[in-house]
A and B are shown apart, each in its own frame.
Chain A
Amino acid sequence: MDSFYKSFKIFLLSSFLSTLLYSENIDDLLNEFNQKNDTSQKTIDENKGHLVLYTRDRIERMHARTLKDILETTPVIYYHENRYAIPDPLAGGSGIPYVSNLIRVYIDGVEVTQGWLGSGLMLYGDINIDFVDHIEFYYMTPSFETSTEPAYMTIFLYSKQPDQDSGAKLSLLQGDNGYNAQSFSYGAEKEDYSYMINISHTDAIRDKIDNGTDTPLSRDYQRTQIFGYIKNDNQIFHLQLINKETDSLAGLSWDATPELSEVDYLNLHMDYGITFNEYWHAQFTYEWLKTNIRYKDDTPLISAGIPIALTSFTNESKNDTFTAELTHKTTIGKHHFITGVKARRKKLIYANTDEAPSLGKEPFDTEVVSSIFFQDQYKYNENNLFSLGVSYNHIDRNGDIGNNDLWQFRVGYIYANDQWSYKTYLYRSMFAKDPLGTSLYNLDNLTPQTSLGFTQEAAYKDNDQSVRLILHIMKDENGLLNNDPSIETKYFSTILNYNYILTNNSKLDLQLYYAHYTDIFNVDKLQDWSGYLALSNTYKHFDFYNSVIWHRNSIDYKDYFDLSSTITWNLNENLSVSLKGENLLNKAKKTQQYRVDPITMTPLSPIDFSTSNRRIKLEVEYIF
């Protein structure tokens, strides 16, 4: 009886204390703790640009397993593949090898590139992201602190940390038509250091695309990737290895009827970063890429619009890239200064071509990029921040391809209080025309693409909802491929985001995007609309995620819908089973690939295809 009264008194006391001292509900406290301690909150840099954030929770609920799954939902620049089946969001369906070098990819703050070939997005645009904790997209000329080469958009992937993801995790995924993927991760914290490793393999068997022959176009690939790091308080070493063997869609076939179209990639990335003290940080990166190309057709092949008078073409090339950077940060009064020097050397170290086509000029095989930047963030008070940035890049190439001197300027202002924020930037950016593309096109002395832009962002948030509007106008002094000074390409785009927390376990995400372009890619006017609506719920041991992505443009005013649904059953803390349906309506956005009859040189009807296949995937995840 005594013990009963004792327990009862303790219960009463406990209830009293809880009510008196801590009036907030534990659910609310947990929600607040969750939001404020999300890993992404530690890496977001409001001054990097206009941010689109994918938190760990959002990635998990989306059941996004590749960067492609994420890029399909981003505004402005969304997932595309070019005629070589390479992730190339800015691709317009032409035969240009690669046009998305203005988008740069970073892992844990370190850029990954394909060296001589350009942006890391080429190979990393659809990588397995099982090693990733959260992803930040910064739009519209991000701050110069992170970029060695100028960028229009930067994608930051941040890896999982052993303090939150220690131990092992195994994931087995099986899709219909033989699509399958496996991933294994292991992370540990030791006394003085921690490490994490992820190994994954993807056998992507994708829908074939009818080209009117018995051999439809294929874009299947097999990819094995290894990601790992070891770190202590002030040093980190990353190692990434990707081996990708891919069917290369239309490749160099004029009429998109190749008899053989394959490209293999073997890519190594290593970087070492050290922070000497609160002021100085150094970073060294080495990257190596081997590419093996095999194309065959019954008619002459085409390369970037130029007939190469061959019906088969094989090429093996290797290139490496070394990047070194040193940055200094200091705060004097209300000013926070960041200065840095960066140098990157890209070298084509080996190329073995069966019969090299003549391009009419001496190709370059070495490119050296030297950069210096200065940035001042003036914190007027707790709510107002002004920023000024300037960056100079000198690009030096051998061969007949010219050098470039590029200047970037950006001024910005940020206001924020607990609920409202406003952000604006004015910038002038210069981008080098893609040297590989211009060499293939045999274009001489292309002036850098220069843009003048102005952006504004206004946002409001409270405990239940957040809303944000971004407005962006930009004028190109010369276009991506159009160097005619009489043509003035202009852009206007706007993004509206609305997030609403229905309950602690139910969230709604809405995103609307509209863009208006004039004089782009020889089109007088282009309008582009897209939308994204997602609803996520948790009920007992089940997570649900339903989303629809909508696209429409003024070329054909056709509406495309990509409907996806995921249900995850968390059997216990260590085991979960997920079922995901992608592109369930089979009405996802399609891309056009242009083609030409190689005999008569007359245009053929373009091939329409979607990068998103209708697919069901079953995945089992086990943590041990």
Chain B
Amino acid sequence: MKKFLTLFILCYWQLHALDIKSTLKIYHDLISVITHKSHVTLYTENREYINVFLHSKKIQVVNTPSTADIILITNRNMLKKIPSYHLKRAIAFTTKYSLLQGSPYIIGALYRKKGRSQILFIRKRLRQHKVILPKEYEKYIIGEL
């Protein structure tokens, strides 16, 4: 009954909570095809995403990037803070196109452009992590940026 939840909104600038169900569904799918694992550890500093993944039985949020299978980068500050050897070892994914463009260690992104959600993977970076995506993902893979 999502409609009624929105009856009790506070203010626009405070409202950016992700929809838990649809966000989990797509990240479960993405992480599954990237890692081929049914259970993964994930590191992110974004409170909204942490809140979403706390509802998952397949994704465990960890406090340090050193123990993470997946590092989800949501802003430039986070990208700057995480040492590159962590990004090389784990699989780095982002929610921003500009970060995918700005870091060679990030393999893909689920981001919004002009109000539309987009998925993008870089073929060369997938190969570096020996990730082979299913055929249905082929249209979301590009050679290079």
Contacts and interface: CB of A to CB of B under 8 A. Distances in A.
Interface of A: 7, 10-11, 13-15, 17-18, 21-22, 24-27, 29-30, 32-39, 41-47, 55-60, 108-109, 133-134, 158, 161, 163-164, 166-167, 189-191, 231, 233-234, 236, 273, 275, 278, 281, 329, 331, 336, 377, 379, 382-383, 385, 414, 416-417, 421, 573
Contacts of A32: 22, 25-26
Contacts of A59: 115
Contacts of B103: none
A18 B33 contact: yes
Interface of A is mostly: mixed
A43 B9 contact: yes
A67 to B, nearest CB: 17
15 contacts: A14-B134, A15-B134, A17-B33, A26-B140, A29-B22, A29-B26, A37-B19, A42-B16, A43-B9, A133-B115, A161-B13, A163-B16, A164-B112, A233-B14, A573-B101
Contacts of B77: 189-191
Nearest to A233: B14
A37 B14 contact: no
Contacts of A55: 115
Interface residues of B, number: 52
Interface in B1-33: 1-4, 6-19, 21-23, 25-26, 28-29, 32-33
Contact of B136 (A25, A58, A161, A191): A25
A13 B115 CA distance: 34
Contacts of B133: 14
B10 A329 contact: yes
A377 B98 CA distance: 43
A45 B1 CA distance: 13
Contacts of A7: 130, 132
Given A58-B115, A158-B12, A236-B11, 10 more contacts: A11-B132, A14-B134, A17-B32, A29-B26, A45-B9, A59-B115, A109-B12, A190-B77, A191-B77, A573-B145
A18 B9 contact: no
B79 to A, nearest CB: 12
Contacts of A43: 6, 9, 12, 15
A44 B28 CA distance: 28
Nearest to B46: A163
A331 B28 contact: no
A22 B114 contact: no
Nearest to B24: A33
Contact of B137 (A26, A38, A377, A421): A26
Contacts of B7: 45-47, 336, 377, 379, 385
A377 B4 CA distance: 10
B25 A41 contact: no
Contacts of B115: 38-39, 55-60, 133-134
A231 B97 contact: no
Contact of B11 (A11, A109, A377): A109
Interface string B106-145: 0000101111110100000000001011101100100001
Given A10-B132, A18-B32, A37-B117, A281 B4 contact: no
B51 interface: no
Contacts of B88: none
Contact of A161 (B1, B11, B16): B16
A382 B97 CA distance: 38
Contacts of A377: 7
Interface centre among A7, A22, A134, A421, by most chain B C-beta atoms within 10 angstroms, is A22
A382 B5 CA distance: 9
Contact of A42 (B6, B101, B145): B6
B29 A18 contact: yes
Contact of A22 (B10, B29, B130): B29
A58 B7 CA distance: 24
A414 B119 CA distance: 37
A133 B4 CA distance: 22
Contacts of B21: 36
Contacts of A164: 112
B116 A416 contact: no
B134 to A, nearest CB: 5
B64 interface: no
Contacts of B119: 26, 30
B132 A166 contact: no
A365 B133 CA distance: 70
A329 B136 CA distance: 47
A49 B18 CA distance: 25
A220 to B, nearest CB: 30
